[in-house]
Structure 1
């Protein structure tokens, strides 16, 4: 029996449970695990015989807790290679105003910067509280994380998108040369 526990913000418990318990049941089915939720403490316990299923469910719940929608978090069930990476921003912003400015830079006007990073790296990004979550395959996640770190450090959006464009071309070139 494998057991994992994690703490989730109380405002995200409803998302984990889902309408009529739908999301929770879905996670339990996909992971072959049982989920117990203590709403008061925000404590979620996942247990099951299949250790990998329990770990996958833990990652999905962690993603839900960090602002991802169930549809986006469930990508973690689609492929064993897909990972969740969490970037903690609390060390770069010591005031709520600075945190808002940094989140705003990552999101961009009308969400355009985040969408562009997602599209150029084939990742899914969620900005929630003091964290940025990234879901995707390892290499693209590393690239998306680097782009977000560049924005956090004050790089211009144009420079970040140029970096992403170069990375995309390099990845395509690597794919072509490994094929031949």
Structure 2
């Protein structure tokens, strides 16, 4: 049995309408969830395949860090899918600096976060004081490095160039997970 604590405002998302999301996680990951709505504590017990059961706590953590349930459930797609967190607070000097750092990661109109997602192939969510990532190891590594570059003060253009280079490397090596099937060309630009 494992225990995960999630923010109060994410409990409803974890449970879902009429318990639908909770039941889907239990069925897909072969776990049983015991959610304490008072303090945000979630007990996760594996009731089936132990390998699948290991993904249960990660799915709960991902939802707790702001991912929609359908993105968190991507962790079950194959053994290679992983969840990672970048602590924005640790890279910030104070509250105002954290706000500025989050702004750098999100970008104007959310464009930086979107490009990070499109070019790395990882799902990227900024919630509270963290940036969450879901994808294969190369996707997560590319997005994490890009986020860390931004947090260290690198210009956005430099980070975008890095991401385009990683995108092309992964595509060349056949490693890119296609998050946006049918959304246009592989370069992340829109098709006519």
Query: Is the counterpart of residue 54 in structure 1 residue 53 in structure 2?
Result: yes
2:10 maps to which of 5, 8, 12: 12
Deviates more, 1:94-103 or 1:57-66: 94-103
Report the more deviating stretch, 165-174 or 139-148. 165-174
In 1, Cα distance between the equivalents of 2:24 and 2:71?
14
SS of residue matched to 2:92: coil
Q: CA deviation at 1:158?
A: 0.7
Q: 1:32 aligns with which of 27, 30, 40?
A: 30
Give per-residue Cα distances to partners, 1:67-126, cap 9 Å, x unaligned: 001111111122221100111122221322111111110010111000011000111001
Offset of residue 51 of structure 1:
2.2
1:101 and 2:100 correspond = yes
TM-score by length of 2: 0.86
Alignment-derived partner of residue 42 in structure 1: 40
Q: Deviations over 1:37-88 (max 9, x none)?
A: 0111211011123322222111111000000011111111222211001111
Deviation of the 1:20 alpha carbon: 0.7
Tell me the C-alpha RMSD between the 2 structures. 1.5
TM-score by length of 1: 0.91
Q: Where does structure 1 lack aligned partners over 5 or more consecutive residues? A: none
Count of aligned pairs: 174
1:52 is paired with a residue whose SS is helix
Superposition deviation, residue 170 in structure 1? 2.7
Q: Measure the CA separation in 2 of the matches of 1:172 and 1:20.
A: 41
Q: Decide which structure has greater helix share.
A: 1
CA contact (8 A) 1:4 1:54 kept: no
* Equivalent residues of 1:4, 1:55 under 8 A apart: no
**Helix, strand or coil for the counterpart of 1:74?**
helix
- Which residues in structure 2 correspond to 1:10-159 (within 5 Å)? 10-49=8-47, 50-159=49-158
State the 1:168 CA deviation. 2.2
Structure 2, unmatched stretches of 5+, are: 176-192
